[in-house]
Amino acid sequence: MKRARVAYAGAIHEATPLQPGDGTAGLELEDGRRLAESQVVWLPPFEVGTIIALGLNYADHAKELAFAAQEEPLIFLKGPGTLQGHRGQTRRPQGVKFMHYECELAVVVGREARRVGRERALEHVAGYCIANDYAIRDYLENWYRPNLRVKNRDGATLLGPWFVDAADVPDPGNLALRTYVNGELKQQGNTRDLIFDISYLIHYLSAFMTLSPGDVILTGTPEGVVNVMPGDEVACEIDGLGRLVNTVVDDAVFGR
């Protein structure tokens, strides 16, 4: 099942996608009202706990950035202010030289996980969604990555549009990812190329921290990142999970 969280008419609602043949792309609220995507404000599609992100988790992306692949996961945390939903706007600060998207599979924890073996790790997954985790290369200091200005920027991490139940994603280790900028395909990859796969990440993390329902693991991005500018529309797709769209805007939109 796919479901979203949206704001409409002064309230937050759970919504599901309209089925093919319903006549228009859009969504249906739990009370039966049918709306176009543009009529609602999209939120992250689940109540988000701790945001755990991976850097350099595809060998081709590490090579693209001239970094060696890591021998153990390169992990950092993100604050709640980084998040927004589908169709949001992400600010490109004035004067930066290189800002890029990162299309990622987001893994949502559904059951508490503490010292979990790899063979049972996926039992702790509630579902999946798409993430787009923007970065500004100007602020990158070294291979270790953030530096808060790179990965903890307000509104620079998109989650959505749908939360998809784990039961509906039979093989999360073989999902194609694609990113389009203004309709032009710029990035392609597949989760089978993750250096540290989902089972390993849950095993590794739960060895030293308790994972709780709502925690989300952003698993990294493949090669193919390009500079994006104000006015660009960026669309990230992952097989079976939907299409996460947002727009890059300049400082003036936010009064800066």
Tens digits of per-residue pLDDT, 232-247? 999 999 999 999 999 9
Helix (H/G/I), strand (E/B), else coil: 195? coil
Residues of the chain with CATH 3.90.850.10: 44-254
Q: What is the DSSP letter of 28?
A: E
**pLDDT of res. 251:** 85
Strand partners, 236: 179, 244
Element (H, E) at 2: strand 2-8
Residues of the chain with CATH 2.30.30.370: 1-43
**pLDDT of res. 22:** 46
**CATH number 3.30.950.10 given to 44-254:** no
pTM above 0.75, yes or no: yes
- For the chain, which residues score pLDDT lower than 50? 22-23
Number of H helices, E strands in the chain: 3, 19
Q: Among 2.30.30.370, 2.70.98.60, 2.170.190.11, 1.10.443.10, what is the CATH number of 1-43?
A: 2.30.30.370
In the numeric block, which tokens belong to residue 38?
């543009």
